[in-house]
Amino acid sequence: MLGFFRLFLSACLILTACQLATPSASAQSVKISQFSGKPVPRFASLRYARVNGRIGPSTDHQVAFEYERAGMPVLIVKETTDWARVRDFEGDEVWMHVGQLSEPDHVIVTREVALRRKPQSASPARATIEPGVLAELHSCNDRWCEISAGAYTGWIDKPSLWGLNTDTAGL
């Protein structure tokens, strides 16, 4: 009996050590969709100025929200052949027909932030951007993204933007 206990304890220690030595996955693992062949979760933008968000994946389901911001980023969290379950900036989830979505090209500013002339904290500000502003995304480097908001173009630090990183999208 003592030999069985030692064997069992050794096996438990080995399994625990293997788990600790294996790199842990992120909070939400990325999967490749069998429908689109693209990663899920991922960001997309609303293709049109009016898009219906439904409570289920068909036109037979009731409209939960009418989105009226072309370019607004949404996070695709689930897919079927023709439908995507998306999460908006405020955390609401609805179903949208995939034809209503396009490649991500916009972000939402999450806090009041200076729009900088160059991608540097010490660079002069061109404008102050308020939370909730929808901005066109031009390019990004490791820490900064160049955006256009209204008549202004400049650089904002990545942590101030929603629509780029699925790790910080509330998964």
Q: How far apart are CA 35 and CA 83, in angstroms?
A: 10
Last residue of a domain, one of 74, 104, 134: 104
pLDDT at 80: 94
Q: How far apart are CA 103 and CA 119, in angstroms?
A: 24
Q: How far apart are CA 157 and CA 99, in angstroms?
A: 31
Last residue of a domain, one of 65, 83, 104: 104
pLDDT at 8: 41
Q: Write out the residue range of the structural domain in which residue 36 sits.
A: 32-104
For residue 117, give the CATH number of its domain: 2.30.30.40
Task: Place 168 in a pLDDT band, splitting at 50, 70 and 90.
Answer: low
Looking at the structure, do residues 61 and 124 belong to the same domain, yes or no? no
What Cα–Cα distance (Å) separates residue 96 from each residue in 19, 36, 51, 56, 57? 39, 14, 8, 9, 7
Global pTM exceeds 0.85: no
Does the residue 46 lie in any domain? yes
Last residue of a domain, one of 104, 129, 150: 104
Does the residue 138 lie in any domain? yes
Q: Calculate mean pLDDT across residues 76-82.
A: 95
67, amino acid identity: Y
Q: Calculate mean pLDDT across residues 13-39.
A: 58
Looking at the structure, do residues 66 and 91 belong to the same domain, yes or no? yes
pLDDT mean across residues, the chain: 86
CA 117, 123, 128, 134 dihedral sign is positive
Looking at the structure, do residues 84 and 131 belong to the same domain, yes or no? no
Q: Check whether 34 has a pLDDT greater than 50.
A: yes
The residue ranking higher by pLDDT, 153 or 3, is 153
Residue with token string 């010490």: 122
Tens digit of each residue's pLDDT (9 = 90 or more) over 143-165: 999 999 999 999 999 999 999 98
pLDDT at 35: 80
Looking at the structure, do residues 85 and 118 belong to the same domain, yes or no? no
Q: Calculate mean pLDDT across residues 94-102.
A: 98
Question: Angle 43-156-84 (CA atoms, 0-180°, nearest 5)?
Answer: 10
Looking at the structure, do residues 145 and 157 belong to the same domain, yes or no? yes
Q: Which residues contact 89 (CB under 8 A, 6 or more apart)?
A: 72, 73, 108, 132, 162, 163
Q: Check whether 102 has a pLDDT greater than 70.
A: yes
